Amino acid sequence: MEGRIMEPNIQEAVAVLKKFIIAMNKWEVYYHAITMEYVDKGIKLAPLDAKKREELDAIFNTYCTLRERKYGRQAALNTGCPPEYSPDEEILATEVLKKNKIAIETQEHSLLEYRYRYTLHYKNKEWRIDKKEVYNDQDDKWEKLSL
């Protein structure tokens, strides 16, 4: 076995994705409620945004590839109701793209039932989420979506 490179484990990649989705759901649900409360009371959001960013960065630093993301949630700190990430998101399929890259397709079960595809990279003995796509039924193709 010595000197042999072991294949990255698909179940490990799925576990990382599930943990990320759960962490994002908790973050989004918590901060959406607080943000709405601040807005209703006319409280400035700047102090809250600093805390939102700190906690969101911690999630991304734990589960995602380490790179600057100029667009998307880290830039806008947006939340929604219903939340974009749901612990009920179902794993539909996994596809090994390369030895160190896997795509995981999921189905979201809220009002619109979006299909997502996450690409994860295996580097330094760990899986990290690199990108997210959403399936466009009308065009029959995957489109880039911000994490």
Confidence of residue 70 (pLDDT cuts 50, 70, 90): confident
The residue behind tokens 């997210």 is 132
pLDDT in tens, 7-53: 569 999 999 999 999 999 999 999 999 999 999 999 999 999 999 99
Those residues whose C-beta lies under 8 Å from the C-beta of residue 42, and which sit 6 or more positions away, are none
Q: Is the pLDDT of residue 73 over 70?
A: yes
pLDDT at 75: 86
Distance between CA atoms of residues 111 and 61, nearest Å: 30
Residue type, 89: E
Residues above pLDDT 90, as percent of the chain? 79
pLDDT at 8: 64
**What phi and psi, each to the nearest 5 degrees, are found at residue 97?**
-90, -40
pLDDT at 7: 57
pLDDT at 115: 95
pLDDT at 3: 46
Are 101 and 121 in contact by the 8 Å Cβ rule? The answer is yes
Q: Is 146 exposed, middle or buried (0-12, 13-18, 19+ CB in 10 A)?
A: middle
pLDDT in tens, 107-126: 988 777 899 999 999 999 99
Distance between CA atoms of residues 134 and 7, nearest Å: 28
Residue 84's SS3 state is coil
**What pTM was estimated for this model as a whole?**
0.91
Indicate the DSSP class of residue 88: T
Average pLDDT across the chain, whole number: 92
